[in-house]
Amino acid sequence: MRTPLLVAAFTLTLAAQVGGQPPPKPPVADPPKPLKLPDGITPDKLTDKKEAARVADLMEKEYPEPRSEAAKMLIAILRGSQLDGSDGWFGPAESRVNWAWLAERSKVDPKDKKGIGKEQFRGTAEQFGHLDRNGDGAITEADLDWSSKSSYVMQSGMLNQLFRRMDQGGDGRLTREELDTLFKRLAKDRDHFTADDFRRAMIPRGPMGFSPGDAPTIPMLVKGLFGNEIGSMTEGPKVGEQAPDFTLNTPDGQNTVQLSKLVGSKPVVLVFGNFTCGPFRGLYPDVEAVARRHKESATFVMVYVREAHPTDGWKMQQNTRVGVEAKQPTTYDERVEVCEQFRKLIRPELTLAVDGITDPAGTAYSGMPARLYVIDPAGKVAYKSGRGPFGFKPGEMEQALVMTLSETAAEKEKATAEKK
């Protein structure tokens, strides 16, 4: 039975059509209220946890549900969040291509625990291998699960942290020399080291799992939030929406990168990151590995954005120990200079573009401090990772890319068949 509201809407629409007038447009939602602290409150006044909690109460009243991601993050910080990925604006990736999509495409019941076999998968054997994460010969929902509950994700997270602590060069690569140095440090005058030696060396002794000197304060995080250092205050495009266009310069200033010119024949992967974000540096080689595997079928572009841990912001001792130090650039030339430090250390192979000093691309895509996107050939967002550093998962991005490539190939085959 129709409600009076639906009947009225139908009557108005019909009357407009009969009268030759187009139906009225639905109301447009008001933009979110700009986020700001209460009058008289500055970040430096939030050192006292009780005062910060009081301000959090005020913010909850001023910004009721549904809140913007930035409001959620600010309230979480005021209540003591240490940005461990479990609260505030942190959340899962968004993807148009997922388990439900793949099951339907493969004509398999998504509830069938047997999953999708090779004979049912519509794609290449190589693509099947990327999606069959555990290698058991079938793609199941668990293979595409990148949530914090996944045993694979938990193990990967632990190994990534260990890797970063062993990576004395801070470039995302472990050399034989670094491994030899680690062995000598742990073994001392012995010919071996034990699990206890390894634990003592690898598990930080600072608060909340941070290395000594790296744990942030509430004022530090609030400043970082409003400065777009711990993340962008904007939320970026949603899955299915047109990807915002941008035109940015390469670091040498000799060329420009325009997204709209790259979109068309194949998907585009956008990689947002910066020099002082340790997790990004540690995982960047994984992105390059994905790019090498799919260099013929997708275009990869890195956008260099605002620093996450500048020396005049949330400075990380982990960065200092590996020689990674930079102030937050205040001019475009200064950003290019820091980007050059990144290039010297990481030696990226991807096409690299530097965001403008007002962060046009980083803001449009909510790309700070690090984020991944897959843009389909139609120029629409197929995959949007969670906010970095916790949501920055090259493996998850690769699976989304593989499913997008499979879909693109099928659409081309269909178009070719229809022409015949």
Domain containing residue 349: CATH number: 3.40.30.10
The percent of residues above 90 in pLDDT, for the chain, comes to 84
Are 195 and 80 part of one and the same domain? Answer: no
Residues 274 and 300 in one domain: yes
Q: Which residues share a beta bridge with 78?
A: none
Residue 210 forms part of a structural domain: no
How far apart (Å, rounded) are the C-alpha atoms in residues 171 and 162? 14
Q: Which of 224, 258, 278 is the last residue of a domain?
A: 224
Are 171 and 47 contained in the same domain?
A: no
Lowest mean pLDDT among 162-166, 354-358, 390-394: 162-166
pLDDT band with cut points at 50, 70 and 90 for residue 7: very low
Residues 300-357: tens digit of each pLDDT: 999 999 999 999 999 999 999 999 999 999 999 999 999 999 999 999 999 999 999 9
Would you say residue 229 lies in a domain? no
Q: Residue 121: which domain range?
A: 95-144
Tracing tokens 């499913």 back to the chain, one arrives at: 403
Which pTM does this prediction carry?
A: 0.90
Q: Where are the beta strands (DSSP E) in 288-385?
A: 299-304, 351-354, 371-375, 381-384
Task: Kindly state whether residues 133 and 272 are assigned to the same domain.
Answer: no
Distances (CA, A) of 410 to 122, 135, 183, 396: 8, 24, 51, 22
Cα–Cα separations (whole angstroms), residue 150 to 104, 145, 279, 404: 23, 6, 20, 23
104 plus 88 within the same structural domain:
no
Is residue 211 a part of any domain in this protein? Answer: no
The CA distance from 277 to 322, in Å, is 12
C-beta atoms surrounding 374 within 10 Å: 28
Does 341 map to a domain? yes
Q: What is the CA radius of gyration of the chain?
A: 24
Which residue in this structure is represented by tokens 């004022």? 219
209 in any annotated domain: no
Is the domain of 344 the same as that of 374?
Answer: yes
- Which neighbouring-strand residues pair with 354? 249, 304
Structural contact between residues 326 and 341, judged by C-beta atoms closer than 8 angstroms? yes
**Chain segment 226-258, per-residue pLDDT in tens:** 999 999 999 999 999 999 999 999 999 999 999
Q: Band of the pLDDT at 11, cuts 50, 70, 90?
A: very low
| pLDDT, tens digit, 9 for 90 and up, residues 280-300 | 999 999 999 999 999 999 999
| Residue 302 burial (C-beta neighbours within 10 Å; 0-12, 13-18, 19+) | buried
The answer as to whether 270 is a domain residue is yes
Q: How many domains does the chain have?
A: 5
Phi/psi at 366 (5° precision): 50, 50
Residues 272, 174 share a domain:
no
Residue among 127, 335, 366 at smallest CA distance from 270: 366
Residues 55 and 135 in one domain: no
CA distances from 373 to 94, 100, 132, 230, 285 (A): 10, 20, 21, 19, 17
Please indicate, yes or no, if residue 267 is contained in any of the structural domains.
yes
Whether 302 is covered by a domain: the verdict is: yes
Same domain, residue pair 26 and 75: no
* 315 lies in the same domain as 374: yes
Clarify whether residues 282 and 396 are in a common domain: yes
Are 23 and 112 members of one domain? no
Could you say which of 144, 169, 184 is where a domain stops?
144
